[in-house]
Structure 1
Amino acid sequence: MNEMIFIIFNSAYKNFTFSDFSIIRVFALINLYKTFLLLMFLI
Structure 2
Amino acid sequence: MKLCRYDDDRLGVVRGDMVHDVTEAQAQIRAAAPYAMKGD
Q: Which has the larger share of helix?
A: 1
Q: TM-score, normalised by structure 2?
A: 0.40
Q: Which has the larger share of strand?
A: 2
Q: Which has the larger radius of gyration?
A: 2
